């Protein structure tokens, strides 16, 4: 069986695998209020402490900035800007639990500080707390219903929780909010495919290809989606567009090119465009390397055979047999090509080789017997049919071939037996075989010396 006959492997894009969006950073805010015990503190000291923390953050020394902010908050607890930036510094030092706690403190002081809520939700999602993240994104979206990142990452949290329909709604809403963003579309695509929403997935892929026209996986996915909608012509065109685009750019891996050519060949053959199919199978061999040699040889040969171009198919089958001598199906395919090309001796050789590999394939007994008969090896044809009879019931075809072979060998008694058995199965009385069998049976019964003894 060829690769084309065994089916097509489907390849879908992987789910979204991006990191979280960068946390929202804030500049330090001025001190709004001081505890009574600090009323006599110097304004310049406060400003210096804040400025020192800001300078450390500017040079990305978050450990020093955190230490200065902790000291500042010991003196001025509840300062929203300092708390926010301290949480931010914690997060950049991978001190995530402390960052989460500190963002919660910010929101206790100022529930409307939405940048803190967004950062908190992102960190909750990052630490595998999707349900808590969803609760924070919900509050954020109540205040800002058009927040792109809130929809995108709430969708991710909902998908993690198994709410795929709701997650898809969020991804598609994020895509509406930012027509230039690929992330929500890449996140929505596997969900649409999983729901078998082929047209919706096709729309998303077309949009993604506008952003990344050279994306090989998307090109394959588009063709598959078109096939699932029975848009075979469009699918073949998608394969051809992809392959044409590679001519002007750095080509992908040979294995991918080989696979695309093979798929395009299968589809072209299904559409009855045999010349295109042949071209793709040859290109798969040329561009895909050794791993596609055998499959492309077989599919090209099968296509030529379907066109009855036996002389062109035979060399391809022969090469394939050299690569894999122990494949019964392949040996039989070569035998059929020889048989149709009237090369009976070599056809019989291949059918017999196939039977040595797989003696249970009954059809190859029929084929081998036919080739031997046509080559004049009547005794060989009879012997093969006798072997077949031990494995399967006789058919009108096998009985007739046995009868005529015995007849030509002047074995009249055996010929009469098989002619009678053939006629007992009630073949078409207008067929050439029926007329010949009836005539020969009458003649043999009247003059068979073997029976008269």
| Per-residue confidence (pLDDT) for residue 213, from 0 to 100 | 83
pTM over cut 0.85: no
- Token readout for 228 is 């699932």
| Per-residue confidence (pLDDT) for residue 219, from 0 to 100 | 84
* 222-262 pLDDT, tens digit each: 999 999 999 999 999 999 988 887 755 566 688 888 989 99
| Per-residue confidence (pLDDT) for residue 150, from 0 to 100 | 95
- Whole-Å CA distances, 215 to 16, 210, 221, 299, 319: 15, 10, 10, 27, 35
Domains defined along the chain, listed by start: 325-392 (1.25.40.10), 396-453 (no CATH)
Q: Which residues of the chain have pLDDT under 50?
A: 1-21, 27-41
* 179-201 pLDDT, tens digit each: 999 999 999 999 999 999 999 99
| Per-residue confidence (pLDDT) for residue 2, from 0 to 100 | 33
| Per-residue confidence (pLDDT) for residue 252, from 0 to 100 | 67
């Amino acid at each position: 069986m060829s690769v084309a006959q065994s089916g097509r492997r489907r390849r879908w894009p992987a789910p979204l695998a991006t990191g979280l969006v960068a946390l929202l950073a804030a500049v330090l805010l001025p001190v709004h209020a001081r505890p009574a015990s600090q009323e006599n503190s110097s304004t310049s000291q406060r400003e210096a402490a804040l400025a020192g923390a800001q300078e450390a953050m500017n040079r990305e020394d978050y450990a020093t900035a955190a230490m200065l902010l902790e000291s500042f908050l010991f003196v001025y607890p509840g300062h929203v800007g300092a708390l926010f930036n301290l949480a931010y510094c914690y997060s950049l030092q991978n001190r995530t639990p402390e960052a989460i706690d500190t963002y919660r403190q910010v929101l206790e002081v100022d529930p409307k500080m939405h940048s803190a809520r967004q950062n908190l939700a992102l960190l909750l999602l990052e630490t595998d707390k999707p349900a808590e993240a969803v609760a924070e994104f919900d509050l954020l979206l109540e205040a800002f219903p058009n927040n792109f990142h809130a929809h995108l990452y709430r969708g991710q949290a909902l998908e993690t929780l198994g709410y795929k329909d709701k997650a898809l709604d969020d991804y598609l809403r994020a895509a509406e909010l930012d027509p230039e963003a690929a992330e929500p579309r890449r996140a929505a695509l596997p969900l649409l495919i999983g729901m078998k929403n082929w047209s919706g997935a096709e729309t998303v892929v077309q949009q993604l290809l506008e952003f990344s026209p050279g994306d090989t996986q998307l090109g394959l996915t588009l063709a598959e989606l078109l096939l699932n909608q029975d848009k075979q012509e469009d699918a073949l065109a998608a394969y051809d567009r992809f392959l044409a685009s590679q001519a002007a750019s750095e080509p992908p891996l040979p294995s991918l090119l080989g696979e695309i050519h093979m798929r395009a060949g299968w589809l072209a053959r299904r559409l009855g465009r045999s010349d295109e199919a042949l071209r793709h199978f040859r290109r798969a061999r040329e561009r895909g390397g050794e791993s596609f040699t055998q499959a492309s040889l077989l599919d090209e040969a099968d296509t030529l055979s379907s066109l009855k171009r036996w002389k062109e198919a035979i060399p391809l089958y022969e090469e394939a047999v050299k690569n894999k001598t122990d494949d019964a199906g392949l040996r039989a395919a070569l035998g059929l090509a020889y048989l149709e090309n009237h090369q009976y001796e070599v056809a019989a050789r291949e059918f017999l080789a196939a039977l040595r590999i797989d003696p249970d394939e009954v059809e190859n007994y029929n084929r081998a017997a036919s080739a031997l008969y046509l080559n004049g090896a009547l005794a060989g044809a009879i012997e093969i049919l006798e072997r077949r009879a031990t494995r399967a019931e006789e058919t009108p075809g096998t009985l007739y071939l046995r009868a005529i072979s015995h007849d030509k060998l002047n074995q009249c008694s055996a010929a009469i037996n098989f002619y009678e058995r053939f006629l007992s199965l009630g073949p078409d009385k207008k067929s050439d075989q029926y007329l010949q069998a009836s005539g020969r049976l009458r003649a043999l019964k009247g003059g068979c010396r073997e029976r008269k003894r």
